[in-house]
Amino acid sequence: MAPKAASLCWKTRNVDYEQAKTLSTDPDARQRRKVAQQSDVRPEILFYLADDADTGVRSAVAENRATPRQADLILTRDGDESVRSRLAAKITALVPEFAGEERDKIRALSHQVLETLARDQAVKVRQIVAEALKDSVDAPIAVIQKLARDIEIQVAGPILEYSPLLTDEDLLEIIAHGPIRGALTAIAKRRQLSDKLSDGVAVSALADSDAESNSVRKLLQNKSAQIREDTLDRILDQAGKVPTWHEPLVERPTLPMKAIKRLAAFVSHTLLEALQQRPDLDAATAKDVAKTVQRRLEAEGAASAAPPVGEEAIAAAIGAGKRDAVAAALARDAKLPASVVSAILASKSSKAVTALAWRANLSMRQALQLQLRIAHIPPTAALNPRGGTDYPLTPAEMEWQLGLFGTA
């Protein structure tokens, strides 16, 4: 009957020492858990419950701010990850109070608990510690250094990106020793990134551009990052092949005039317009950029008029509405004079255009697109494939259509 009587005593909000001691051995885990949750329970009882068989009881001890550090240290070795996770959440919240602890032994124990959790075998536990301490100015330096070099980016990332306790020298050392995938990106996003760190990120990333191109993009997007002109030149050397860098390059707050001229040679037309509208563009550079734009337009115009070769290239040209290039390809493949091809495309005759596509060995689906996109025949008047793929006219009918244009 004793356990039942003890359970009944729990109706009061707080219990005295003897009651708590009795309840801490109650067969009902729910009663022991309630003891472990009390903020005014004696430390020795919490110490005792830290080794309880029930996970819920140990979790309650882990979360209790009144739990003595000696018990917390025991819980860092708990076999249940959820218990250690709850302990990590509590301990990291108490970090600002560590410095004010007057007892050296307790302060040392607090640091030991935190350092043990920072080495926990479970990524989730280490991640909880890292997320909680990423902005902290009170965290032990040893813990921050450990987390910054973690083998999992979800642990190291928050520290590398945000921790005010990491110096440039710390970060450069991490970069120099081959950081884990994603570490450069995290560093690239740091506020007020120095030119030395920007250079370190860029040089390391450019050496392995396939794996770390995202870190260069994040560096360029970081408006507070200081990027030296020679570092920018290194990035521009490879930027033509990496379209994801173009927009952040064009949108950098300040750009050397030399960099602007280089960008004008390869960014998209939309970004060219943004480049030409930059407020820092001087008159001489604006003139050079305008010339570059004109040269590109002329070159692209000549390229677009060149007849495409092969089924895929012709289909792409039809889809893009490149009339001159498509006409030249049709004349070549159908072995017809360019004047005849032009006349057929201008005729608005769906049958004649279909016959032209057939003579040029295009599929009927391409013939339909040729009618719609190049000959501009209305969809209601266009000839559709028979059965989804076949030409709707016989070869004799198509030869007759072509003969109307003097091809016989």
- List the single range of 10-24, 71-85, 112-126 with lowest mean pLDDT: 10-24
Asked if 150 and 107 count as a contact pair (C-beta separation under 8 A), the reply is no
Average pLDDT of the segment spanning 334-341:
92
Amino acid at 304: S
The whole-number pLDDT of residue 303 equals 61
Residue 380's pLDDT band, with cuts at 50, 70 and 90, is: very high
d(CA 78, CA 23): 23
Q: Kindly tell me the burial class for residue 314, based on how many C-beta atoms sit within 10 Å of its own C-beta (0-12, 13-18, 19 or more).
A: buried
Of 12-16, 151-155, 283-287, 305-309, the range with the lowest mean pLDDT is: 12-16
pLDDT exceeds cutoff 70 at 349: yes
Q: Any idea which of 78-92, 242-256, 265-279 has the lowest mean pLDDT?
A: 265-279
User: Cβ distance 355 to 393 under 8 Å?
Assistant: yes
Q: Is the pLDDT reported for residue 208 higher than 80?
A: no
Quote the pLDDT of residue 408: 59
* 102 band by pLDDT with thresholds 50, 70 and 90: low
DSSP for residue 324: H
Give the pLDDT of residue 1: 34
279 and 292 in contact (C-beta within 8 Å)? Answer: no
Q: pLDDT class for 178, splitting at 50, 70, 90?
A: confident
End-to-end CA distance of the chain: 114
Confidence of residue 61 (pLDDT cuts 50, 70, 90): very high
Pick from 272, 273, 369: nearest CA to 320: 369
Q: Which residues contact 253 (CB under 8 A, 6 or more apart)?
A: 223
The pLDDT, as a whole number, for residue 278 is 92
pLDDT at 14: 56
Give the pLDDT score at 182: 93
The residue ranking higher by pLDDT, 23 or 301, is 23
pLDDT band for position 15 (50/70/90)? low
| CA R_g for the chain | 36
User: What distances in angstroms separate CA 353 from CA 328, 332, 389, 395, one per listed residue?
Assistant: 14, 15, 16, 14
Q: Has residue 37 got a pLDDT over 80?
A: yes
Cβ partners under 8 Å of residue 346, min gap 6: 375
pLDDT at 211: 58
The CA distance from 406 to 144, in Å, is: 84
Q: Is the pLDDT of residue 300 over 80?
A: no
Quote the pLDDT of residue 74. Answer: 96
What pLDDT, on a 0 to 100 scale, did the predictor assign at position 103?
76
d(C-alpha 408, C-alpha 318), whole Å: 27
How much is the average pLDDT of 316-343?
Answer: 90
Q: What's the pLDDT at 194?
A: 97
Domain ranges of the chain: 167-242, 254-305, 309-403
% of the chain residues with pLDDT over 70: 93
Structure confidence at residue 30 (pLDDT): 95
Q: Is the pLDDT of residue 31 over 70?
A: yes
DSSP-assigned letter for residue 245: G
Of 55-64, 92-101, 104-113, 194-203, the range with the lowest mean pLDDT is: 92-101
319: confidence class by pLDDT, cuts 50, 70, 90: confident
Minimum mean pLDDT range among 96-105, 172-181, 189-198, 210-219: 96-105
- When the pLDDT of each residue in the chain is averaged and rounded to a whole number, the result is 90
Q: Which of 12-16, 171-175, 188-192, 404-408 has the lowest mean pLDDT?
A: 12-16
> Worst-scoring range by mean pLDDT, 11-15, 97-101, 221-225, 252-256?
11-15
pLDDT of residue 324: 87
